Structure 1
Amino acid sequence: MPSSSPSSATGAVAHADDLADFVASSPSSFHAAAEVARRLEEAGFIRLDESEGWPAPAGGKFVVVRDGAAIAWAVPSTPRVASGVRIFGAHSDSPGFKLKPKPTTGRLGWLQAGVEIYGGPLLNSWLDRELRLAGRLVLDDGSSVLAATGPLLRLPQLAIHLDREANDRLALDKQAHTQPVWGLGETESADILGELAREAGIDAARIRGYDVVTADAARGATFGRDGVFFAAGRLDDLASVHAGVVALERAADDHDGDHIAMLAVFDHEEVGSGTRSGAAGPFLADVLERLWLSLGADREEQLRALAASWCVSSDVGHSVHPNYAEKHDPVVQPVLGSGPILKINANQRYATDAAGAAAWSGWCAAAGVTGQEFVSHNSVPCGSTIGPITATRLGIRTVDVGIPILSMHSARELAGVSDLWDLARVAEAYFRG
């Protein structure tokens, strides 16, 4: 079990409260990337532009944002030409709904939003819940602005009087039943993009493109006996993003190892990662090449550096569910509050192998954290992560880890307060080497 000392408990509670702030500031992947950069810049990291030259990196702390992705790193004061990298990888997107073209719709006096399903959300969890809109707006001059509303939309459920079998088998049509309401009136006199434009302080007529999603409007909260639970939207995977930011901030203050500590946050994991800002795209490889070139490394030295590097792919995994125990492996049963998980799959849906398991065990021990393992029931298909993608893309040694949660892909997911803090502590030990 994780440490139950007063200092550890206080740290875990403070970490969860900070995570609630982080989630509230990150309702879309674009907001999450911006929040990562903002926090790290406050901690002394230098924001870099991909279209400009980058400074010599010795002893530097840097962060670069590409759309809804962000990569940050800390270089020791005396780096080697072929310095290896310790990457902590996570993703910024979550399942939900995304605005379609011509998004202002409605009928029968109701204003509705035309949305498309993004990823694999647990649809029923989005019913009867206040939702926000958030994302980026691209304007007529090519510039982008971030925008987010407060509580604006709702997917109202049909009353049981009109569907007497709703408690037996609720079936939602993905087109007809998932268009949220956001007002009353006629569509000719309304514009849902105008709501976002008003929040961003711009003229809606200037909008030429947008990437806008829904997010739960409720703030994350701790609850349960002794406050052991934490619930919020987008814990998959902002819990890992936040842990990585906290760990990198702490480790970069006095980073003097022989490796480069790096946080890599990708977009579009929930839809396959195959984009310019996804793990299957070139973003990480581009940053690594530019970093090693700035150290003076030639191609052979870059390959040597890759061979000396690690990637910890951090994403949430399934806690054993007390009401559905038959869905889990009968022996390996991680539970909230018992530490971060090592994710294992024989068919390499996770990248963990024996070497990765041993390394993870060492980093947990260095942090004073007890971990647990996760493996799927043989009859239940296993999901995947950025881990195998990163390992395949770069040939880098990779291990898949995370925290156990319940209600995965719900609009509001459930984690253990101590697990969130323990993951950040192990990530810091990993960065420190």
Structure 2
Amino acid sequence: MTTTSITSPKIRTSRRAWWKELWVQVMIAMALGIALGAVRPDLGTQMQPLGDAFIKAIRMLIAPIIFCTVVNGIAHMADMAKVGRVAVKALVYFEVITTFALVIGLTAVNVWQPGAGMNVDVSSINASVVEPYVKQTAAVGFVPFLINIIPQTFVGAFAEGNILQVLFLSVMCGFALIWLGERAKPMTDVIDVGAKMIFGMVKIVMWAAPLGAFGAIAFTVGKFGLGSLSSLGKLIGGFYVTCVIFIAVVLGPISALCGFSLWKLIRYLWEELLVCIATTSSETVLPRMLSKLEALGCERSIVGLVIPTGYSFNLDGTCLYLATAAVFLAQATNTHLDISHQVGLLLILLVTSKGAAGIAGAAFVVLAATLAAGGTIPVASVALVLGVHRLMSQALTPTNLVGNAVATIVIAKWENALDAARMRLVLDAGEAPDGGA
């Protein structure tokens, strides 16, 4: 087995003071946000700009990070056949795992039936609240999705922050640098330094993570309030349990087969998971995921290709949400769904779930698109889950994150690009090496 080219620095033996740990600061901020939202809902909702500002600060760095990481990784790989091989393996893995997620989601919602007995009259639903989302469904679909991968201009991909468009340009630039050979070295050196600069900016922005978590949680609790959502509590609770079951039943055995403990991996990514839960966005930790998985022992080029691609194609939590929400709405509106209907729904979701990349409120938009494509469940019924979508996102986003972390390790091992000894050392220590993240 070939090992990663990453130098293996020593694992820290002395820990920082507990109150300096990011995860502690984020948890304290979340607790304060929950308290504020519960006691002063009006003031809690006014904290939304704090969470939004943090998310925007991270998102502005994602495109240059992906570009620098992928271009540098491919250029140093110097093997276009390997790039194609990694991409094919990743896409096959993504399709298999997301299919498992959809099947588990459909099975679970049929067993606990959270919408049974609600007897919602569709004509009484105010459909105007979901019109902005339904209008976007025309852009969701497999063919438009493929066309949208090609940006209008080179700079436009970075301006819009579309991950797949940036990835497309990065792969092309990486191939071009391979063809240039030794003449490309000055450019790869510049890109390498640029990546280090961007990751330095990420560390600066992450200092504000507790503030962002506080604002996002205070807004969620202040605006929705758990009391007003009691009628949908069965749906929310069941969905959280479904996400846990998927992680344990699907990702757990895969991790064991690859020689690592899933629970140790979750401990290693604990800070990133907390930020995801608070902000309901996995994009906020994408830069840290790249550096932490590289520090774990995965080859840089594998991490650079798999993680950005997974953020569009390997959305396990989103698939669980789509399957759960669609059948819940059928149950709530007394829409009959037999086995053939649910198989058809599964096939539609396999396509629409891949067409969500780059769309604001992607999971909700794709849900509306799926109902429109199926033609069985009333599209207007999505208004029933609009209010709880954010709370369900607090389960689906960390599920997406864990799924992509496992996928990266699996593909790295499949490609003999994983330093297994280093991975075990880091996971046992429960922290990244110095400079790893």
TM-score, with structure 1 as normaliser = 0.27
TM-score, with structure 2 as normaliser = 0.27
Normalized per residue, the structure richer in strand is 1
Normalized per residue, the structure richer in helix is 2
